[in-house]
Amino acid sequence: MSKTALLFAGQGAQAVGMGRDLAATFPTARALFDQANATLGYDLATVCFDGPEVELTRTENAQPAIYLVGWVAFKLLQEQVPDLAFHATAGLSLGEFTALAAAGSLTFEDGLRVVRLRGRFMQEACDITRGGMAAVIGLDEEVTREVCKLTGVTLANLNCPGQIVISGDLDRIPQAIEMAKARGAKRAIPLAVAGAYHSPLMAGAQPKLAAELDRLCFAPPCVPVLANVTGQPHGGPAEIPRLLVEQVTGSVRWEASIRHLLADGFTRFIELGPGGALAGFMKRIDKTAQVLNVSDVPTLAATVAALRG
């Protein structure tokens, strides 16, 4: 039997206009955007549809916006393909919350509210630190780890072969970039981000997020949900909040998560939410896997046709 995993986008996937055509075309999507506005008490839908970009890219808006569009894509796919079966979920960074919601571990509304707060707490941590990030292309993990150790920065994202993101003090990132190039990286480029995500500089956000997660009721997920920090499925509900808190400063082990699913017999992956970064990572991890995407009306139609075919 073919096994299908749902993948949910993370921060950086946001783009002004995301979700607009879905809301204009499908009443279910419009209702979910309205529900999100009511839940949060402000017009997140308009920020998604019309920006401005500076407003959408604010961490406290970008995170719930990406969560919301991923959820809309998920519900529309279920509406269009009622017999859709999926056997695991995973999400990049904040996408892990969407993955947990899709697996029934927390409600849509609880996930939306806590992701909004997570974004706010992370922005507050950015504001009191001087952090940055850089993408390192074409250097293997062990050499990149050595660069991080020598320059005092952190491995933030292990996305796919040949693509690693490093994070840390803003003054140390240029040194790490130059050392990575000297060790053979094809490219090493600073990223336009507000701070050093997935590094110890985000530690100030952890106790605040932990307090919010303690207020939520997590149910056992109906399918395995991959945890970013371990690259393995979550355990019981008691473990989920701890791993979500750890994720704020821990490395995102995305390639390990995907390789776990591949080893477990997964052959179809459906990326849900804005952008197509996860599909791109997938092609570099395993070119033989079927990768589908739902981010707008045309990609929804194409994915529905592929699933029905």
Among 87, 198, 234, 260, the active-site one is 198
Among 87, 93, 234, 257, the active-site one is 93
From the list 5, 293, 285, 290, the residue with the least C-alpha distance to 159 is: 285
Is 93 an active-site residue? yes
176-205 burial by CB neighbour count: b if 16+ within 10 A, else e? Answer: bbebbbebebeebeeeebbbbbbbbbbebb
62-83 burial by CB neighbour count: b if 16+ within 10 A, else e? Answer: bbbbbbbbbbbbbbbbeebeee
* Side chain identity at residue 69, one-letter code: V
Q: Which pair of tokens denotes residue 165?
A: 């993101």
Count of beta carbons in the 10 Å neighbourhood of residue 284: 14
d(C-alpha 88, C-alpha 105), whole Å = 12
* Side chain identity at residue 231, one-letter code: G
Is 198 an active-site residue? yes
Q: Which residues are catalytic?
A: 93, 198
